[in-house]
């Protein structure tokens, strides 16, 4: 199957099929190898990229900036004090202005509706660097990391433990179900994903030959190849910290949880930043730190593939 992503936006991985995701992962692997060989790319030569950040960022901002520069493009950072998206000027009008000036737009903020409007009205590829609902560029980095560690994706048992209704849980369920990975989410029932998304992902999983399992029982980590966790309070939810810690303490990724996998080759992953002592212990984090920071580096390689592939 020929893959042509030119002009396509990445708003959520729902909109990409398995072949397209595989293409981006393979391209990312190729670009990663070239970077390590010192081969400079020209995939974005003469291109200008707008980087809109309503929320602060370490990995996303640095990954987009370095990836764009590596490929000969110019990244322009636009913080919340530089443009007033949806306040002083409508999202639609901002999109039409930026689309006249830039060849691609990254958006990291709160509203999924905002990134969708940017894509609809700008006329250039738009990439979701994180919204309250989805975080697709992180999932591509996670999939590349898993493929590097296991040599495959299909048939692996992926278990997410913790806050099951945040953007990471949503996006990982989509990514795994698209790629044929068995996905188990373990969280208290109050923090399960919405039924509509679960049903969508079950349809994706049926097509790819995998299984979606939602549970509140940590015994379900048995036979996990990958255990994944994320912070218990996402950005903007700091007032819920005490409540979340009390609710999620039984779902901490620790040595005891790892013994329940009944496997010796399980890996642990985290999208960072980590609150060690909450969702993951310092001991387990350090044990799998090589995997976790490979994952962080792969943000840049997969984001580079997205920009090159769609521009």
272 appears as a binding residue in the annotation:
yes
84 appears as a binding residue in the annotation:
yes
Helix (H) or strand (E) holding 236: none
CB 64 within 8 A of CB 120: no
96 appears as a binding residue in the annotation:
no
Q: Is 252 a catalytic residue?
A: no
Catalytic residue among 61, 70, 133, 135: 135
Cα distance between residue 6 and residue 134, in whole Å: 22
Catalytic residue among 61, 108, 244, 301: 108
138 appears as a binding residue in the annotation:
yes
Catalytic residue among 61, 68, 70, 138: 138
135 appears as a binding residue in the annotation:
yes
CB 237 within 8 A of CB 264: no
Q: Is 114 a catalytic residue?
A: no
Q: Tokens 């936006």 — which residue?
A: 9
Number of neighbouring beta carbons within 10 Å of residue 304: 28
Catalytic residue among 176, 233, 268, 271: 271
The β-bridge partners of 52 are 78, 107
Q: Is 301 a catalytic residue?
A: no
Catalytic residue among 230, 233, 252, 301: 230
The DSSP symbol for 186 reads: E
57 appears as a binding residue in the annotation:
yes
108 appears as a binding residue in the annotation:
yes
CB 67 within 8 A of CB 305: no
Q: Tokens 């097509």 — which residue?
A: 207
Q: Is 299 a catalytic residue?
A: yes
167 appears as a binding residue in the annotation:
yes
Residue list for the binding site for carbamoyl phosphate:
57-60, 84, 108, 135-138, 271-272, 299
Residue list for the binding site for L-ornithine:
167, 230, 234-235
**Known catalytic residues?**
108, 135, 138, 230, 271, 299
Residue list for the binding site:
57-60, 84, 108, 135-138, 167, 230, 234-235, 271-272, 299
């Amino acid at each position: 199957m020929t893959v042509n992503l030119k002009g396509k936006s990445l708003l959520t991985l729902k909109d990409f099929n398995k072949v397209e995701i595989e293409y981006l992962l393979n391209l990312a692997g190729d670009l990663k190898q070239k970077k390590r060989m010192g081969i400079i790319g020209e995939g974005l030569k003469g291109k200008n990229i707008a980087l809109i950040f309503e929320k602060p960022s370490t990995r996303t901002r640095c990954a987009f900036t370095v990836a764009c520069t590596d490929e000969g493009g110019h990244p322009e950072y636009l913080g919340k004090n530089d443009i007033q998206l949806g306040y002083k000027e409508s999202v639609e009008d901002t999109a039409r202005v930026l689309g006249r000036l830039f060849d691609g737009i990254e958006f990291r903020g709160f509203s999924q509706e905002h990134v969708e409007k940017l894509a609809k009205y700008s006329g250039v590829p738009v990439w979701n660097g994180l919204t309250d609902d989805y975080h697709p560029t992180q999932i591509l980095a996670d999939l590349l990391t898993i493929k590097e560690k296991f040599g495959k994706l299909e048939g692996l048992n992926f278990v997410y433990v913790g806050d099951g209704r945040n953007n990471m849980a949503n996006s990982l369920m989509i990514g795994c179900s698209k790629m044929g990975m068995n996905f188990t989410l373990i969280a208290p029932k109050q923090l399960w994903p919405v039924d509509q998304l679960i049903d969508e992902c079950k349809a994706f999983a049926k097509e790819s030959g995998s299984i979606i399992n939602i549970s509140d029982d940590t015994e379900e980590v048995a036979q996990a190849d990958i255990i994944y966790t994320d912070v218990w309070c996402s950005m903007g939810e700091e007032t819920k910290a005490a409540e979340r810690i009390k609710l999620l303490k039984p779902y901490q990724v620790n040595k005891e949880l790892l013994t329940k996998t009944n496997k010796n080759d399980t890996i642990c992953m985290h999208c960072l930043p980590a609150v060690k002592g909450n969702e993951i212990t310092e001991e387990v984090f350090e044990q799998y730190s090589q995997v976790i920071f490979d994952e962080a580096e792969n943000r840049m390689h997969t984001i580079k593939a997205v920009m090159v592939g769609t521009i």
